[in-house]
Structure 1
Amino acid sequence: MNKYFLQLLIALALPLATTSPANAESLLQLWAHVVENNPTLKGSEYTVEQMRAQQDQVLAKLLPNIGISGYYSYNNYNQNASANGFNPFGGQGNAYYPGFRGSLQIVQPLFDLPSYFQLEATEKQAKQSEQQALALRMKVAYDLVDQYLGILEANDTIVQLESEQAATDAQINRLRHMHERQMAKATDLYEVEAYAQSIQTAQLEASHQKAIAAEKLRELSGILLHESDPLTQDTFPEIQRSADEWVQEALSSNPTLLSLQYASETAQKMIASAKAGHLPTANVTASEMYGNTGYNNLQYPNNYNIASLYLNISIPIYAGGGVEAAGREAVSKYQMSREKIEEARRNIEKETRSAWLNATSGRARIESSRQELSFREKAKIAQEKSYEVGAATIVNVLDAHRRLMKANTDHYKARYEFIRSLIRLRLNAGSLADLDLEAIAPWFGTRREATYPITSFKQDVK
């Protein structure tokens, strides 16, 4: 009986084996789908264009305004309305003539500080929207990697559980035949059957997690991922720069923080624009008129031409306190923006240090979990030998296999968590780019010897 049961235990210890399916979607292929189809990224691009259009609209207030106008009229002139009566058309003694008038007018603002400060504010708003779009692109890239790794985690679990399920089912059938011949204990059979049922439950949970991750990935990319390239990298580069260096980069380059700084500068410009509402405005107008009628469409003997150049000055005196109220509102918005910057700065520093700690400890955890896996394998073999000589129960052996399976799961999970921490570190530092995805893409694919195809990480790892 022990001999046959040992065959089960050896089968349960089969290592996790993954291969790259021929129709797998690579990480870079998925990112191409995201860039092309993700509505959130597309919306951010339109937001940037919207801000630039608003900037051009404000700029138009400070540029020359050129217009041409003209009209044509048919006139009835009654010189003596008291004698001839009211005869709009067709009366005796009325004069009939066509009238026309055309003009070209050019208006150039000379002094308009409110519009000038508004222009500077919209320039900051455009830059703010660009940084927000960049931050969103980085966040979507991180989410893509996160969900892709989630699918791989589920795949690894499913493959491992399927291997154990097949071996367990075969041993259950063998134990049932042996039990019928009274060569195996009923308790041993029940324990193995219970263990097989727990594997089925774990398979259901893993399949559920994979389906959830696949749906989240479809939300990002617009396609449903059926197969994915497995993670084949076992050893990873070391984080070289210190946490303080990463934090310094984050505080100077994080697009979320930069967007808030631009928002604060926008609010500051709006304060100046609001206070400038007390100041006068001035513009110069040049016009050229050609026609044959004048006031009330009275006809001139000859066609005429008039050229004019004049200066318009508007001095605000009292606006019901609206200018002061607008100034107070602008000051409040500016103070709020400064507090948001400080809040974001603290949060970014915390997240950057946390990501750095997770990345550095995660890399060490990979090696530690590999060592634990080796020890768990030895413990499993020891339990099998003890069971063979009757010094251990089937429960002890199955517990050893559960711990071995968990150690295997923890090992490949440590690799995924390291990649997540590395990408999040880039995200918080504000330097996550397409090159980073290209750098980690070779870590996925057909199984091979470990290599270090680092490009954009070259200054951070060794």
Structure 2
Amino acid sequence: MRIALMFTLLLVGRGAYAVDVLDAYALALRHDPAFQAALQQHEAGLQERRIGLANLLPNLSYAYQTARNRADVTAPTSTGGGSVHRNYTSSVGALTLQQPLFDYAAWAQYRQGVARAALAGEQFRGRGQALVVRVFAAYSQALLAGEQIDLARAQRRAYAEQLQMNRHTFEAGEGTRTDILETQARFELAQAQELEAGDALDGALRELQAMTGAPVSLEQLAPLAEPFTVPSLQPARFEAWRDLAMQANAELAGQRHGLEVAEQEVERQRAGHLPTLKLYASARRTRSETENTYGQEYDTGSLGLQVSVPLFAGGGVLAAQRKASASYAQANYEYDAQRNTLLNDLRKQFNLCTSAVAKVRAYGFAAEAAQALVEATRQSVAGGERVNLDVLDAQQQRYSARRDLAEARYGYLNAWLQLKYLAGHLDEADLVAVARFFQRGQ
């Protein structure tokens, strides 16, 4: 609720773009089905501690029973015996209080409840951080697909102009049919790339709509601002990020609480060999409870101790303990596997972030150089130094450089959020920082 309120305040006064990154996240907080399911799972998980604690607290119960009875009573008498027919109502009311004094299984179950509640908290924290990553991934994928559509259209227009020029020169007897076929092939390829980017855009917008609960178009999204400058990564050493992840990664922390749950399950099953001790207190009121007490009423109070000692249960207790021990060992191995996967993913995202500065700079220079190359190649063709295929290759190189530049920019932002997420330190402030890379409404 705190996050939703903050983002609601951020939405006030926005201008040109209907849905920027912060808007999309604020909508997803209220509408994303996966996050709403995680919210309910968290609420359910928080009750585990209370459920476990209940086994250690007093248990108070009241039972009442009433019945209509018919009895034929035959009793010996001095004259040889007689029979009595009785129709009567009997009743029994009992108020019982039990307080565990020693119950190792209940104590282990309480520890399990505490661990399960902590596990639910970590899982919800992880789902909240994952929502930031998912929203931005869909948002940036839609923008990237939009840029690719624009690039493919520009490329197609350039090929169309080149194709028209090839036909004119061919009709004038200066060109060849091969020039026309080469340009026509590039034109068709650009059209296919435009269709492919359109499909990617549709998929990203649908995914974003599923999370935000509102229809979204490309025109409503805020594009990247210029100039795009990649800041240096802080902290700069991978070891620092590794330490952060080992301490704060939500999924890994949840696994540790899962280990505690499995360990306490072993203890709970081991308690099947141990005695239990309870304090017992009751108050009973009976009326004609049995034939021997017909017509009599009793108020009885009892206070005492109840000891239960397990002796033999067919080997079930030992089997359950072995099963719990195997599950605990399985949880340990799964924790090790999750830790290794985390460190590999963390290293991958760290490398992407550290190389982003050089990649964005290199692709920016490549895009500028490719534009100049197209102009120079066209002039060389006019002077007879180059051929039509050289122009097509230069145009394709320009398209590829601009496409790679766009992918590098969005890739850096996604990698930075992923890195923060894997380190367990991703929050709304990080999304606000990412939002500064995009154009803002006036």
TM-score normalised by structure 2 residue count: 0.86
- State the shift of 1:208 in Å: 1.7
Residue 136 in structure 1 maps to residue 136 in structure 2: no
In the alignment, residue 225 of structure 2 is paired with which amino acid? Answer: T
Residue 39 in structure 1 maps to residue 21 in structure 2: no
The C-alpha deviation readout for 1:361-416, integer Å capped at 9, x for no partner, is: 01221011112222223322321221222211122122112111211111121101
Confirm or deny: 8 A CA contact 2:156 2:191 kept in the other structure.
yes
- State the shift of 1:180 in Å: 5.0
Instruction: Tell me what 2:11 maps to.
Output: none
Confirm or deny: 8 A CA contact 1:134 1:255 kept in the other structure.
yes
Instruction: Tell me what 1:63 maps to.
Output: 57
- State the shift of 1:225 in Å: 2.5
Instruction: Tell me what 2:143 maps to.
Output: 152
Residue 413 in structure 1 maps to residue 407 in structure 2: yes
- State the shift of 1:267 in Å: 1.4
Instruction: Tell me what 1:379 maps to.
Output: 373
Instruction: Tell me what 2:194 maps to.
Output: 203
Decide which moves more: 49-58 or 434-443. 49-58
Confirm or deny: 8 A CA contact 2:70 2:85 kept in the other structure.
yes
Residue 245 in structure 1 maps to residue 240 in structure 2: yes
Instruction: Tell me what 2:6 maps to.
Output: none
Residue 361 in structure 1 maps to residue 355 in structure 2: yes
In the alignment, residue 208 of structure 2 is paired with which amino acid? Answer: L
Tell me how far apart the structure 2 counterparts of residues 318 and 380 of structure 1 sit (CA, whole Å).
88
Confirm or deny: 8 A CA contact 1:21 1:229 kept in the other structure.
no
Closer, same or farther: CA 447–40 of 1 in aligned 2, 3 Å: closer
Confirm or deny: 8 A CA contact 2:116 2:261 kept in the other structure.
yes
Closer, same or farther: CA 181–59 of 1 in aligned 2, 3 Å: same
Equivalence map 1:81-120=2 (5 Å)? 94=85, 98-120=89-111
Decide which moves more: 415-424 or 369-378. 369-378
Which runs of no fewer than 5 residues in structure 1 stay unpaired? 1-19, 84-90, 449-462
Tell me how far apart the structure 1 counterparts of residues 232 and 258 of structure 2 sit (CA, whole Å).
37
After the TM superposition, list the runs of 4 or more consecutive aligned residues in structure 1 that deviate by more than 6 angstroms: none
In the alignment, residue 223 of structure 2 is paired with which amino acid? Answer: P
Decide which moves more: 38-47 or 397-406. 38-47
Instruction: Tell me what 1:395 maps to.
Output: 389
Closer, same or farther: CA 307–412 of 1 in aligned 2, 3 Å: same
Aligned partner (choices 314, 317, 331) of residue 320 of structure 1 = 314
Equivalence map 1:69-80=2 (5 Å)? 69-74=63-68, 80=74
Confirm or deny: 8 A CA contact 2:52 2:114 kept in the other structure.
no
Number of residue equivalences = 421
Secondary structure in 2 matching 1:62 = coil
Instruction: Tell me what 2:288 maps to.
Output: 293
Instruction: Tell me what 1:344 maps to.
Output: 338
Closer, same or farther: CA 152–316 of 1 in aligned 2, 3 Å: same
Confirm or deny: 8 A CA contact 1:179 1:186 kept in the other structure.
yes
Confirm or deny: 8 A CA contact 2:92 2:286 kept in the other structure.
yes
Secondary structure in 2 matching 1:336 = helix
Instruction: Tell me what 2:301 maps to.
Output: 307
Closer, same or farther: CA 254–77 of 1 in aligned 2, 3 Å: same
In the alignment, residue 195 of structure 1 is paired with which amino acid? Answer: R
Identity over aligned residues, as a percent? 26
Decide which moves more: 314-323 or 95-104. 95-104
TM-score normalised by structure 1 residue count: 0.82
Residue 430 in structure 1 maps to residue 421 in structure 2: no
Instruction: Tell me what 1:255 maps to.
Output: 250
Tell me how far apart the structure 1 counterparts of residues 306 and 155 of structure 2 sit (CA, whole Å).
89
In the alignment, residue 413 of structure 1 is paired with which amino acid? Answer: E
In the alignment, residue 396 of structure 1 is paired with which amino acid? Answer: D
Tell me how far apart the structure 1 counterparts of residues 351 and 367 of structure 2 sit (CA, whole Å).
23
Aligned partner (choices 20, 24, 29) of residue 30 of structure 1 = 24
Secondary structure in 1 matching 2:415 = helix
- State the shift of 1:299 in Å: 3.2
Tell me how far apart the structure 2 counterparts of residues 42 and 199 of structure 1 sit (CA, whole Å).
42
Tell me how far apart the structure 2 counterparts of residues 112 and 256 of structure 1 sit (CA, whole Å).
33
Tell me how far apart the structure 2 counterparts of residues 439 and 207 of structure 1 sit (CA, whole Å).
29
Closer, same or farther: CA 165–297 of 1 in aligned 2, 3 Å: farther
Tell me how far apart the structure 1 counterparts of residues 146 and 419 of structure 2 sit (CA, whole Å).
26
The C-alpha deviation readout for 1:315-341, integer Å capped at 9, x for no partner, is: 111122222222222221222222122
Aligned partner (choices 223, 229, 237) of residue 222 of structure 2 = 229
Secondary structure in 1 matching 2:63 = strand
